[in-house]
Structure 1
Amino acid sequence: MDPHVNPEEQHMAPPLSRRTLLQSAILAAAVPGIGGGVVAAASAVTLPPPAAWTLRPFPLDTVKLGSGIFAGKRQLMLDHARGYDVNRLLQVFRANAGLATGGAVAPGGWEGLDGEANGNLRGHYTGHFLTMLSQAYASTGEQAYADKIRTMVGALTEVREALRSDPRMLAVTGKWGGAHENVRGSYQYVDLPAAVLGGAAAITLSVWVKPTHNANWQRAFDFGNNTTRYMYLATRNANGVPRFAITTNGPGGEQALNGTAALPLNQWSHLAVTISGSTGTLYVNGTAVAQNTSMTLNPSVLGTLTNNWLGRSNFSGDPVFAGAFDEFNVWSRALTAAEITSLQTNEAKNSSAGLGNLASYYFFATTGGTFADASGRGLTATLRRTWGGPSHPGFLAAYPETQFIELESMTSGDYTRVWAPYYTAHKILKGLLDAHLATDDARALDLASGMCDWMYSRLSKLPDATLQRMWGIFSSGEFGGIVETIVDLHSITGKAEHLALAKLFDLDKLIDACTANTDILDGLHANQHIPIFTGYVRLYDATGESRYLTAAKNFWGMVIPQRMYGIGGTSTAEFWKARGVIAGTISDTNAETCCAYNLLKLSRMLFFHDQDPKYMDYYERGLYNQVLGSKQDKADAEKPLVTYFIGLKPGHVRDYTPKQGTTCCEGTGMESATKYQDSVYFKKADNSALYVNLYSPSTLTWSEKGVTVTQTTDYPREQGTTLTFSGSRAAFELKLRVPSWAAGGFKVTVNGSAVSGTPAAGSYFTVSRTWQSGDTVRVTIPFRLRVEKALDDPSLQTLFYGPVNLVGRSTSTSYLPVGLYANAALSGDLLPTLTPVSGKPLHYTLGGTEFAPFFEGTEDPTHAYVQRAEPRVVFGNTDSGVVNPARSDGTTLLDEIWAAAPFADKSALVTRVRSVVNAWVAAGLLGQADGEKVVSTAQGATFVP
């Protein structure tokens, strides 16, 4: 299925008309993607809900965020989205298609040719950005976002059309009127006929070039058969200066001429080479800069050559020339110095040299891809792409099809050659689908559907063994959440091929293991596999095949809590370690942010099928901690300011501009920040119940019930929320999530009256009634400070106050020793040991260290985990003077005493102290006298309730 070449020869107009044609060509190319096909903003399109979902989400436009931490973070991202020039994102797509880029500069990092792996992932960020814009438009209704979507969809439509065609001249202003530009990243070159050198012994080659990039070994021209027999003129050699070389014996046999200074970028320079007898001369801008009087080689000894190229090297690793060409002439004699000088101020036809008698190309403006030869020999030149072409129908990317083709024969990963092309395709596909759903732009749907048609045409022809091998390769075979998006698209198109395509991404080894609940995650790349399962859940929805859903549920349980850090993140340096190893993996590369994003999606999707509260407990944990904390709390026009890794190593400082920008995590971070409200409320499929999953200031418009629900709260700075109903009378169950950490005191009132029943932690509390306008529900959720212990080291702990992870702020790079029992409350709340910071909600100090919410996006050095240290037995801030003894497993006397909390009163606590002390004394773990001191200290201490 290699791309095919199907050039169409086109005859050019006479060179005399080139200035007129140039003017019209530049005008036509000035604003690609903006001129035609303008689509007015339209109402959103809704995906048909899967019948298998017992719960349904609400569209983003029906849930409005109120002021609070989510709205504040979101506004930073909305401002970034509104101000960013999307033509920068489109630059890599337009360049790849050989279209004008309007001078736009591609984003850095993974989106540029100079980024990691030469930008082999470029285009993915554009997909993320489209999704962000779509969510921003759906959430706010701001036309600015729809306008940007329209621009991007229009440009991508033009890009796909260009990729399906033979390359065409990109006309720019030249030295003498018109010129052809090779946009960097276009893979284009000019192919000359085999007879171009004419077997001449004496020769002059002359060309005007305007380099736009400083990569070494770009060729002005290269005539050869291979890397043994050739003649080239490089605009930059290894030292950055022009070099001419001719050889019949490879690089070691080159006879060369080297310039003395680099050619300036973005300026026209004239290069000429003459060979006559044993003398070769290199001219730069009319001045002879190098001469070799001992040359034994000339074009006649090379014979007829097969590869005669402008802008391309016979060495495949060399870059294609980036810049413009004007007037390439070849003469069968050595021009004099005076003739070379004449070419500096005149077109060749008006100079003393005249037009080249072997070849002469004006590069006059044309809408085609061929260039007429003015020498009279009729040697028409053709514009081509190094990867062949045109592309297959439906293909759309910011790089050629070659990555997809090469993956099919790979047996191991090498991201410098192939870097997750189907992952990148997923991001683009998702962005287009979201654009269609947000704006009803039919072009976006056509592009998305075409991409799936194209993928099916490739993958359906491959043996299953090839597919299984491909999808198991790190990271070249990574395909992200593409299955989910394909199934979503299928729900719109109804094309059988699209559902069949989704199943071609089955990774059977993984599905089978997870279906059997066999944990094989150790050593796997985390984010390569998490989003796979959102797709498999959607395949279950579409096919009813239970193995997909079973595998997804079991997989979730292998990650949460087995490989989960307290903030909800997972992975170390992108990979999973052995099950249950948390303390043993703490580093500065923990918790890749994409992993949290995708775990939230998976948890949400599983909850639609199975209303197990654990899924939404996790959702709250991941959202309120890692996801919120991954976004820096400041504005930036250039970057979204989102972390890649969130290191949990002591003293780690978060990096909000990772890897020079435009990473996968910055992409998912943009998406997260524009859909914070997507899981606050769900409804039962039959509209008989409303689930309140998150306590977040928001307003829900439930059209089917004619009801508006306004949630007023400053949660998590407030320990509770208020829900106010307006609109029509409506009967339904209100299901309020009781967090698993809410050990006691969860209370609900309706219109001031307590609702009967005992809410259980880790459940949903149901209030069933006919609701009417003015009804008010008050939910009280008392917080308490608690710790969560690392599974493999109970002494390594992270602090939580309600849903909020509290991190120490300290420059120390060692674990902070923290004692929390000193003034623990009878309820078991450890908070009284800490001191509140005045005027700063959720900020506390302990032992001179400030503890603050993880969700605050600062650059303070943080300690997410601390070393629990309770060296002495202390009650109510009264020190017994007794060393706190420990069992062999690390459990201390105080641990065992406080494990029985809450205590009804002080007497109950003292009774517990006496019982535990007696047991420890009997076991020889505590001396009798020390035991009596412990009991008496507890009796004399004053405790917070």
Structure 2
Amino acid sequence: MAPALPRRTLLQAALLTAATPTVSHAATGAGRAAAAPLPATLPAPPAWTVRPFELKDVKVGQGLFATKRQLMLDHGRGYDVNRLLQVFRANAGLNTGGAVAPGGWEGLDGEANGNLRGHYTGHFLSMLSQAYASTGDQAYADRIRTMLGALTDVRAALRKDPAVLSATGRFGTAAENVRGSHQYVSLPAPVLNGSAAITLSAWVRPTHNANWTRVFDFGNDTTRYMYLAARNANGVPRFAITTSGPGAEQGLDGTAVLPLDRWSHLAVTISGSTGTLYVNGVQVARNTSMTLNPSSLGTLTNNWLGRSHFDDPVFAGAYDEFNVWSRALTAAEITSLQSNRAAASAAGRGTLASYAFDETSGGTFADASGRGLTATLRRTWGGPSHPGFLAAYPETQFIDLETRTTSDYTKVWAPYYTAHKILRGLLDAYLATDDARALDLASGMCDWMYSRLSKLPDATLQRMWALFSSGEFGGIVEAIVDLSAFTGKADHLALARLFDLDKLIDACAANTDTLDGLHANQHIPIFTGLVRLYDATGEARYLTAAKNFWGMVVPHRMFGIGGTSSAEFWKARGIVAGTISDTSAETCCAYNLLKLSRMLFFHEQDPKYMDYYERALYNQVLGSKQDRADAEKPLVTYFIGLTPGHVRDYTPKQGTTCCEGTGMESATKYQDSVYFKKADGSALYVNLYSPTTLTWAEKGVTVTQTTDYPREQGSTLTVGDGSAAFELRLRVPAWATSGFKVTVNGAAVNGTPTAGTYFAVSRTWQSGDVVRVTIPFRTRVEKTPDDPGLQALFHGPVNLVARSSATSSLQFGLYRNAALSGDLLPSLTPVSGKPLHHTLNGTEFAPFFEGTEDPTHAYFRRSEPKVVFGGTDSGVTNPARSNGTTLLDEIWAGAPFTTKAALVTRVQNTVNTWVSAGLLTQTDAQKVVTTAQNASYAP
């Protein structure tokens, strides 16, 4: 083991600031009884000055969130989890029950050959866990337990040598080779016996149409070998023999494709210079000019059924009989093999080797030739380095990463990212069901990771984690620290620190912005892990780095909807308009920024974190979920294109992407940040206005929010079930610049609410107390920092998008009917019966959160050609400075105005400045002032 650097020096158990959890580790293998209470939540670290409630404590009421959530709950309840488990079972060589793996990234045929498979299963476990915690519906717990049972079986199988999977054969019992198992049969070295004449015969039932999979491949390497492929590049069987590599192969090619899921008989004979290939007893190819035969190869090192000496897929399907004779069978003898076992045919059993594959257990196959050449079932990758290994693919990706210096996701695609999703899913399952198997699997995974990573020099780790894509590890640090709070294992906390990417951490701790060119979602979840490492170790640079990083993204690289990144990457600070594309705002980025905002708020109750939370949740996250049901797909976006006329894609990349995974999780935890409590119980934070009912068990009260927010401009909170003294802290959104009011039992509360703060109401609350919060929405624009003329329209917290199929930026003016408050809403016309829908110049604006397939414009081009007040045109062209700021921009920047006179004063002062600068004539200035004086305005 490489010596640990000082920063990785193992801290004593006392540094584990989380208390010992009050959950039972003695659950039976089947999990806890259905009637048992939900287990305690993950212990809150003492460093958290406010703490969250469990999902089960916050019930979602009817409204926007409930409607969206139900679509995902139904999907989670109905989807066949055996499809998710298929790739795990296949990897372990277990029976997959005929299940078909999901498409996209989660199957063997997906992007990069499915090198991320297993990640989606972790997401699904998290989604089911949250669904169960939120609803108490036993159906979700049952599905979790099914998955945990299967994963337990998978790990047990991976710990052992492969075992035969028997199936119905052509004549009796066959040996099944599940696609994705990486299993093959190894025959002893003397099997060919140096014979010059030979016949090789096999019954096979292919289950996949991959080219170049081998029925057999006898050889030393890619130079000296003899093989029979079930399919060549043209999809037909091919036999070849060579002593000088592929270019010198002497071969026989079939004429037709072997059918899938049906038994076919293949036979090859060589005698003298003649080689013959038979398919189902019929000669399909003959070569009379062969100069090579098995004796030309000598004694070979590898004699394989199902495995290739090249980088070809392992044969997927079943073998019944495999026989080798030291002579060329006649055509009649080949025919006799079609309807009989070899022993009962005219040919008899193979004289060199004869395998019936009648075994139903174990990992060896008996040879009936009389030569005693027992065959052995093996894995191409050997076996796990540690018994805790659990994955849906071999450990080879993890091994390759340790020496890899360049990224190639067709070979290594973020293996520790995939491990994180599985680990997180197991932890969530444990929290939801108290099933000890989940904790055991999770702990084993971390034991295995520690056994690998702790042996690597720090320089190797730094190289690995800095490698784009291949070195991505998601939020694994957060999950490992959470696990360590349950297990108390020092190795687990030490493992979490092995993922430190020092270059990034040190730069962010010094508030040096180095994000330009980085992959966004590879790095955002690193910082949720750093916050948890601070909780566990007290090392200040972790928390400082996370806070500074957040400030580098929000708002400097943030789109109006709360998302970030373009084609998954960041550009320079302050570049927003310049990153708008069809691949803007990867949905995973918003999911992880929400997590980070939430965790930072636990340490520092800066309202900016919850202002961001509202923005991203009510816009990108809600808008990323399509508003329709689907049994097969969760219908969640990957990217949200922000180009003009973009149509959201809710089935990206054929499904099962990272964003569909996080999208499933988001839709089952909408309520996780509505309320927080001060660590000492003295205050309740109301962060979001959402129809929910909080059960605050420690206080013996409930708090019920009744609202249709954001379709309603406010919320009503009712205390129930008891009495308790605490301070109610109500978030005043940063955009709520006027009119925020609070009443208790109808009486106004003293104090002046300030936008971007919390408004506190302190009293001993009694059952039946009613708090009414009024939050007037104001319609406003947000300008992109690098192109102020490109703007997004907001009504309160809601981004309003124009619905239009136009593919160039729409142009709108909004000042013509602006209210004295600066509210731009009077310039728009409400659509009757459609809350939050408006029209402007014949174009409909709708909330971004509506998950439709309408073409939308999240940004528009601001155009105010004339100076207009209260609908009255002054006849004066609206002049602009060299930076694009117009006269009207400067006038309305002074809003809100308490009176019309205050607005006119602002107009007079502004035009005077522009006249002095030579940007406006005195005559035009007077027209502007006169128009402002004569116009009428909404308040």
Do these two structures clear the TM 0.5 threshold for a shared fold by scoring above it?
yes
Q: 2:276 aligns with which of 269, 273, 281?
A: 281
Pairwise mapping of residues 354-503 of structure 1 onto structure 2 (< 5 A)? 354-503=348-497
SS in structure 2 opposite 1:344?
Answer: coil
Counterpart check, 1:258 vs 2:253: yes
Kindly indicate whether the alpha-carbon contact (under 8 Å) linking 1:53 and 1:609 is maintained by their aligned counterparts in 2. yes
TM-score (structure 2 length as normaliser): 0.96
Q: Deviations over 1:115-163 (max 9, x none)?
A: 1110110000000000000000000000110010000000000000000
CA distance in 1, matches of 2:501, 2:250: 55
SS in structure 2 opposite 1:209?
Answer: strand
Q: 2:599 aligns with which of 602, 605, 609?
A: 605
Pairwise mapping of residues 724-735 of structure 1 onto structure 2 (< 5 A)? 724-735=718-729
Displacement of 1:92 after TM fit?
0.3
CA distance in 2, matches of 1:161, 1:345: 39
Q: Deviations over 1:394-453 (max 9, x none)?
A: 000000111011100011211111111000000000000000100000000000000001
Q: 2:688 maps to which residue?
A: 694
Counterpart check, 1:642 vs 2:636: yes
CA distance in 1, matches of 2:351, 2:29: 44
Displacement of 1:366 after TM fit?
2.7
**Residue 36 and residue 358 in structure 1: after superposition, are their counterparts in 2 closer, same or farther (change >3 A)?**
farther
Structure 1 letter corresponding to 2:66: A
Displacement of 1:338 after TM fit?
0.9
Counterpart check, 1:144 vs 2:133: no
CA distance in 1, matches of 2:163, 2:541: 50
CA distance in 2, matches of 1:189, 1:745: 73
Kindly indicate whether the alpha-carbon contact (under 8 Å) linking 1:166 and 1:390 is maintained by their aligned counterparts in 2. no
Displacement of 1:879 after TM fit?
1.1
Displacement of 1:165 after TM fit?
0.4
Q: 1:876 maps to which residue?
A: 870
Q: 1:561 aligns with which of 555, 562, 583?
A: 555
Counterpart check, 1:681 vs 2:675: yes
TM-score (structure 1 length as normaliser): 0.96
CA distance in 1, matches of 2:266, 2:620: 57
Q: 2:885 aligns with which of 887, 891, 902?
A: 891
CA distance in 2, matches of 1:889, 1:513: 33
CA distance in 2, matches of 1:446, 1:320: 32
CA distance in 2, matches of 1:279, 1:507: 63
Displacement of 1:599 after TM fit?
0.3
Q: Deviations over 1:68-92 (max 9, x none)?
A: 1100000000000000000000000
SS in structure 2 opposite 1:103?
Answer: coil
Kindly indicate whether the alpha-carbon contact (under 8 Å) linking 2:121 and 2:422 is maintained by their aligned counterparts in 1. yes
Pairwise mapping of residues 514-533 of structure 1 onto structure 2 (< 5 A)? 514-533=508-527
Q: 2:851 aligns with which of 849, 857, 860?
A: 857
Q: 2:911 aligns with which of 914, 917, 920?
A: 917
SS in structure 2 opposite 1:930?
Answer: helix
Q: Deviations over 1:832-856 (max 9, x none)?
A: 0001011000000111111100000
CA distance in 2, matches of 1:390, 1:802: 54
Kindly indicate whether the alpha-carbon contact (under 8 Å) linking 1:209 and 1:323 is maintained by their aligned counterparts in 2. yes
Q: 1:242 maps to which residue?
A: 237
Counterpart check, 1:341 vs 2:335: yes
CA distance in 2, matches of 1:304, 1:219: 20
Structure 2 letter corresponding to 1:213: H
Counterpart check, 1:306 vs 2:301: yes
- Among all aligned residue pairs of Structure 1 and Structure 2, give the percentage whose two residues are the same amino acid: 82
Gaps of 5+ in 1: 2-34
Q: 1:170 maps to which residue?
A: 165
Kindly indicate whether the alpha-carbon contact (under 8 Å) linking 1:163 and 1:391 is maintained by their aligned counterparts in 2. no
Q: 1:819 aligns with which of 807, 813, 819?
A: 813
Kindly indicate whether the alpha-carbon contact (under 8 Å) linking 1:43 and 1:440 is maintained by their aligned counterparts in 2. no
CA distance in 2, matches of 1:740, 1:62: 28
Kindly indicate whether the alpha-carbon contact (under 8 Å) linking 1:806 and 1:851 is maintained by their aligned counterparts in 2. yes
Displacement of 1:390 after TM fit?
4.7
CA distance in 2, matches of 1:152, 1:467: 32
Pairwise mapping of residues 107-122 of structure 1 onto structure 2 (< 5 A)? 107-122=102-117
Q: 1:221 aligns with which of 204, 216, 219?
A: 216
Displacement of 1:391 after TM fit?
4.5
Counterpart check, 1:51 vs 2:50: no
Structure 2 letter corresponding to 1:193: P
Q: 1:15 maps to which residue?
A: none
Kindly indicate whether the alpha-carbon contact (under 8 Å) linking 2:805 and 2:856 is maintained by their aligned counterparts in 1. yes
Kindly indicate whether the alpha-carbon contact (under 8 Å) linking 2:837 and 2:846 is maintained by their aligned counterparts in 1. yes
CA distance in 2, matches of 1:544, 1:875: 57
Kindly indicate whether the alpha-carbon contact (under 8 Å) linking 1:165 and 1:390 is maintained by their aligned counterparts in 2. no
How many equivalent pairs are there? 911
Structure 2 letter corresponding to 1:207: A
Kindly indicate whether the alpha-carbon contact (under 8 Å) linking 2:213 and 2:307 is maintained by their aligned counterparts in 1. yes
CA distance in 1, matches of 2:730, 2:247: 78
Displacement of 1:43 after TM fit?
2.9
Displacement of 1:327 after TM fit?
0.3
CA distance in 2, matches of 1:620, 1:36: 41
Name the stretch that deviates more: 697-706 or 886-895.
886-895
Q: 2:7 maps to which residue?
A: none
Kindly indicate whether the alpha-carbon contact (under 8 Å) linking 1:191 and 1:383 is maintained by their aligned counterparts in 2. yes
Q: 1:716 maps to which residue?
A: 710
Q: 2:33 maps to which residue?
A: 40
SS in structure 2 opposite 1:623?
Answer: helix
Pairwise mapping of residues 72-221 of structure 1 onto structure 2 (< 5 A)? 72-221=67-216
Kindly indicate whether the alpha-carbon contact (under 8 Å) linking 2:29 and 2:435 is maintained by their aligned counterparts in 1. no
Structure 1 letter corresponding to 2:922: Q
Displacement of 1:37 after TM fit?
4.0
Pairwise mapping of residues 311-326 of structure 1 onto structure 2 (< 5 A)? 311-315=306-310, 317-326=311-320
Gaps of 5+ in 2: 2-27
CA distance in 2, matches of 1:465, 1:255: 49
CA distance in 1, matches of 2:776, 2:373: 84
Structure 2 letter corresponding to 1:236: R
Q: 1:232 aligns with which of 227, 230, 243?
A: 227
Structure 1 letter corresponding to 2:394: P
CA distance in 1, matches of 2:723, 2:118: 49
Kindly indicate whether the alpha-carbon contact (under 8 Å) linking 1:91 and 1:106 is maintained by their aligned counterparts in 2. yes
Kindly indicate whether the alpha-carbon contact (under 8 Å) linking 2:30 and 2:145 is maintained by their aligned counterparts in 1. no
Counterpart check, 1:666 vs 2:657: no
CA distance in 1, matches of 2:421, 2:489: 21
CA distance in 2, matches of 1:473, 1:504: 15
Q: Deviations over 1:336-355 (max 9, x none)?
A: 11111111000111111110
Q: 2:608 maps to which residue?
A: 614
Displacement of 1:44 after TM fit?
2.5
Q: Deviations over 1:635-687 (max 9, x none)?
A: 00010000000111111111001111110000000000000000000001111
Structure 2 letter corresponding to 1:892: T
Displacement of 1:39 after TM fit?
5.1
Q: 1:763 aligns with which of 737, 744, 757?
A: 757
Displacement of 1:40 after TM fit?
3.3
Structure 2 letter corresponding to 1:177: G
Structure 2 letter corresponding to 1:634: R
Q: Deviations over 1:35-71 (max 9, x none)?
A: 9846533432221110100001000001000011100
Displacement of 1:365 after TM fit?
2.5
CA distance in 1, matches of 2:762, 2:128: 38
Two-structure CA RMSD over aligned residues (Å): 1.0
Name the stretch that deviates more: 926-935 or 96-105.
926-935
Kindly indicate whether the alpha-carbon contact (under 8 Å) linking 2:417 and 2:473 is maintained by their aligned counterparts in 1. yes
Kindly indicate whether the alpha-carbon contact (under 8 Å) linking 2:205 and 2:317 is maintained by their aligned counterparts in 1. yes
Structure 2 letter corresponding to 1:556: W
Kindly indicate whether the alpha-carbon contact (under 8 Å) linking 2:384 and 2:395 is maintained by their aligned counterparts in 1. no
Q: 1:571 maps to which residue?
A: 565
CA distance in 2, matches of 1:500, 1:553: 23
Q: 2:267 maps to which residue?
A: 272
Displacement of 1:227 after TM fit?
1.0
CA distance in 2, matches of 1:44, 1:434: 12
CA distance in 2, matches of 1:62, 1:857: 28
Kindly indicate whether the alpha-carbon contact (under 8 Å) linking 1:483 and 1:535 is maintained by their aligned counterparts in 2. yes
Displacement of 1:907 after TM fit?
1.9
